[in-house]
Structure 1
Amino acid sequence: MEVFGEFSDSFIPIMDGVGMVTRNYAFWLNKKYGRAYVVTVSFPGYKDSKNEPFEILRCPSFTIPKMSPYRMAIPNMKFKKIISSVPFNIIHSHSPFFTGGIALKIAREKNIPIIATFHSKYRDDFERFLPFKWLRTIAMQKLINYYNAVDHVWVPNKATINTLREYGFRGNIEVMYNGTDLTVPNNQEEYIHKGQEIMNVTDNDFVLLYIGQHRWEKNLKLMIEALRIVMNKGKQFKLILVGQGYAEKDIKQMVINYKMNKVVSMLGVIRDRDLIKALYSRANLFLFPSLYDTSPLTIREAAAFNKPTIFIKDASAAEGIEDGKNGFLTENNPENYAAKLIYIMEHPKLIKKIGRGAKEFLYRTWEQVSDKVYERYIEIIDEYNSKHR
């Protein structure tokens, strides 16, 4: 029986895409193919659920300034002893930083293969919290050195290959698409009503939904400015924001300054996946203005419920999206974004049609993804063993 190690700096209680990818890899690999471990960082006051079928090993950590809620892993002797005792056959790193370094070290000590998935546009993060260009240059070089050091590099879509090439990586890259753990419930009407209660909306409200990190890199300023234009043109809507992040307070203040309090609701973090289903069930349209993300899970979640997404044209997240067929595309400015929203609101029949197209194009389950992941894991293990043992 193979033992898989999924290493990630972000994991529950952080509800971001990378953490969800890590969890679903571990869940399905553990359920169908072997024994999976998640290796991640500790969070003060948080205890893992005993219901998780896979094992979670948490490294001591502390807060990273300007990067809340993310934390830095600081392995102590106890953690090192535990992690060294696990008989991994393959390691998959979902972060090139703290747990990623641990993953690479363990893989080399055990003489086993290591895969690293490039999930995010890290240069955007460096530009925000590293004040000097020379520091950013060093950070980028260390990033590329990491991907050069592992055995296989994966990305979640084809568009992300270009990003990694722009960063300077010249090695082989393989695409492994993401999935979703959400399915439409049989009693969806009940979920719609539940969603209305959570959102505090009526049957007639046009509901716009955003689920994700509250960070300026996500292009949320453009989204709010566009909705201000829509509001000032007399269009009625409700915007529901779900998530957390360093920009949360500033977003709240922006909403106040723009006098949008009555049309914007910030619900914070929602970890209950059943409640997330209720939100998607009730929403009319999903908003994802980010240029930062590579292959967000939330657009697949929305598609599972036949809810189309508005993307920024040429964003990595918009790979394969055709405007008016399986999603909506707009230029990266508030005026065009607002115009697209108004057009959609004035043509509501489009939403159902394009929602069906979104589901057909974007929807795939994590179980389906895990089958392909396991197949590649076994091939990689066999190839590695034939060369190194």
Structure 2
Amino acid sequence: MRIGQFTDSFLPIVDGVGRVVYGYANALSSRGHECYVITPISDAGFRGKYPFDIVDFYGVTIPEYTQYKMGIPLWDVHYHERIKSIKFDIVHVHSPFRSGFEGLRIAKKTKIPVVGTFHSKYYDDFLQVLKVQPLAEAGVKMVADFYEKCDDVWAVSENSAEALRSYGYKGVIKVMRNGTEIRKPDKKNISYVKSMYNLDDVPVILFVGQMNWKKNIIKVLEAVSILKKQGFRTKLILAGQGPHVEEIKKKITELDIMDLVEMVGHITDIYILDGLYGAADIFAFPSIYDNSPMVVREAAAMMTPSVLVRGSSAAEGITDGYNGFLCEDDSQDIADVFKKALFIQRDKIKEIGKNAQTTIPVSWDSIMSDVEYRYADLISQRKNNNKHKDRRKKILL
């Protein structure tokens, strides 16, 4: 099959959706399919040496989110020349915005099926930007309308499927969970990271993701502060970039935990990232925004259990005290869970980490059979429908 994966973000930007798209394109290419990733151009680093092609188009930097580009394919003549030369069998869109609409345009023009995956809870994003609830509600209605135009709609978790339905989407939703690029812990990577960040003296808490308040980072900072006041010292590593970096730094100072927190920025080196996962005692991710965070799976692959908010999308598949830790959406409760995991019952962390490794990550290759089947079935259905329409036209003529 010749497959187009359309996304508004992609490597070298290390975010969830971009890495999911990489997982699809990489796994499908290794299984003999001809894959293309269609995405806005990036100046964040080198793109290349992939087993699939990248077709990028013109984009402008998004204020506050400077690592991202807002794609404008209409303005890119070279892009249009190239995309016309590719005869896709199927389009898979991962965003209800510019790249997604470009995928819909191509699918409609060439009469091929389109799959749409719902990744994010866009209501929170719209409300943060627009500041007005009715406008945010109108925004998610547009998201629902976008997915109504897709032939097959997938969600990455049961919770994310419910979110899309709450936006007004009425069609069938298939839950297609994300895979993980399975890599085993490497002692060299862990030792290197421990030396780099001086991580040997106290328990290590890791957060990887956007430096954005919607990720609930504030409660992690407050939990570390609570533990410090109780006499329990930890080391919190914050890895990532985003619009609230300076505000987070200010909050760290206000809480008087400068000596306990290190912001290491955007990590593009996968070996350093793996080393951080492996060096951490626990992975803190109390976000109630994220649907199916890759970072939880990646941490689990490195035998590091996560602390997640009970009932959140991120906590799907987590059994408290078995393959992770569950907390309430409350700074004090998060601090209590940290204390229990890192100090009171520290001897159980390794066992819980091993359970996380065996129960949470699923390789991309293992889910590709289902993906291939759905793609092939949609292609077959569309070809049959197109033939039927052609016959009707001939009869009418």
Same fold judged by TM-score > 0.5?
A: yes
**Alignment equivalent of 2:246, drawn from 246, 249, 260:** 249
Query: Is it true that 1:152 corresponds to 2:152 in the alignment?
Result: yes
Residue identity matched to 2:206? L
Whether the 8 Å contact between 2:184 and 2:301 is mirrored in structure 1 is yes
Query: Is it true that 1:135 corresponds to 2:135 in the alignment?
Result: yes
Instruction: Report the equivalent of 1:375.
Output: 373
Residue identity matched to 2:20? V
Q: Secondary structure at the match of 1:236?
A: coil
TM-score with structure 2 setting the length: 0.93
Q: Secondary structure at the match of 1:375?
A: helix
Q: Distance in 1 between matches of 2:132 and 2:283?
A: 37
Shift of 1:374: 1.8
Q: Distance in 2 between matches of 1:53 and 1:231?
A: 48
Residue segments in structure 1 that go unaligned for 5+ positions in a row: none
Whether the 8 Å contact between 2:240 and 2:266 is mirrored in structure 1 is yes
Q: Secondary structure at the match of 1:165?
A: helix
Instruction: Report the equivalent of 2:211.
Output: 214
Whether the 8 Å contact between 1:159 and 1:316 is mirrored in structure 2 is yes
Residue segments in structure 2 that go unaligned for 5+ positions in a row: 388-397
**RMSD across aligned positions (CA):** 1.5
Instruction: Report the equivalent of 1:8.
Output: 7
Decide which structure has the larger Cα Rg and report it: 2
1:48-94 deviations in Å (ceiling 9; x for gaps): 22x11211011101122344432211112332222122111011001
Shift of 1:253: 1.3
Instruction: Report the equivalent of 1:85.
Output: 85
Shift of 1:335: 0.8
- Write the mapping of 1:10-29 to structure 2, written as runs, cut at 5 A: 10-29=9-28
Shift of 1:386: 2.0
Q: Distance in 2 between matches of 1:45 and 1:245?
A: 14
Instruction: Report the equivalent of 1:65.
Output: 63
Moved more, 37-46 or 296-305: 37-46
Moved more, 89-98 or 321-330: 321-330
Q: Distance in 2 between matches of 1:372 and 1:56?
A: 24
Instruction: Report the equivalent of 1:273.
Output: 270
Q: Distance in 1 between matches of 2:347 and 2:247?
A: 35
Query: Is it true that 1:170 corresponds to 2:170 in the alignment?
Result: yes
Q: Distance in 1 between matches of 2:62 and 2:195?
A: 36
Q: Distance in 1 between matches of 2:354 and 2:228?
A: 28
Shift of 1:46: 4.1
Instruction: Report the equivalent of 1:42.
Output: 41
Q: Distance in 2 between matches of 1:47 and 1:348?
A: 41
Whether the 8 Å contact between 1:8 and 1:19 is mirrored in structure 2 is yes
Q: Secondary structure at the match of 2:5?
A: strand
Count of aligned pairs: 384
**Alignment equivalent of 1:303, drawn from 271, 296, 300:** 300
Q: Distance in 2 between matches of 1:45 and 1:240?
A: 22
- Write the mapping of 1:240-389 to structure 2, written as runs, cut at 5 A: 240-345=237-342, 346-389=344-387
Q: Distance in 1 between matches of 2:335 and 2:254?
A: 19
Shift of 1:45: 6.4
Report the CA distance shift for 1:236/1:131 in structure 2 as closer, same or farther (over 3 A): closer
Residue identity matched to 2:62? I
Shift of 1:381: 1.3
Q: Secondary structure at the match of 2:299?
A: helix
Shift of 1:136: 2.2
Residue identity matched to 2:320? D
Shift of 1:161: 1.4
Shift of 1:272: 1.2
Q: Secondary structure at the match of 1:69?
A: strand
Q: Distance in 2 between matches of 1:200 and 1:192?
A: 11
Q: Distance in 2 between matches of 1:197 and 1:182?
A: 25
Shift of 1:375: 2.4
Residue identity matched to 1:208? I
Q: Distance in 2 between matches of 1:344 and 1:326?
A: 12
Q: Distance in 2 between matches of 1:381 and 1:348?
A: 52
How many percent identity over aligned positions? Answer: 36
Report the CA distance shift for 1:222/1:92 in structure 2 as closer, same or farther (over 3 A): same
Residue identity matched to 1:35? E
Q: Secondary structure at the match of 2:259?
A: coil
Q: Distance in 2 between matches of 1:191 and 1:197?
A: 10
Shift of 1:363: 1.5
Q: Secondary structure at the match of 1:106?
A: helix
Report the CA distance shift for 1:385/1:21 in structure 2 as closer, same or farther (over 3 A): same
Whether the 8 Å contact between 1:9 and 1:98 is mirrored in structure 2 is yes
TM-score with structure 1 setting the length: 0.95
Q: Distance in 2 between matches of 1:288 and 1:265?
A: 16
Shift of 1:44: 3.5
- Write the mapping of 1:92-131 to structure 2, written as runs, cut at 5 A: 92-131=92-131
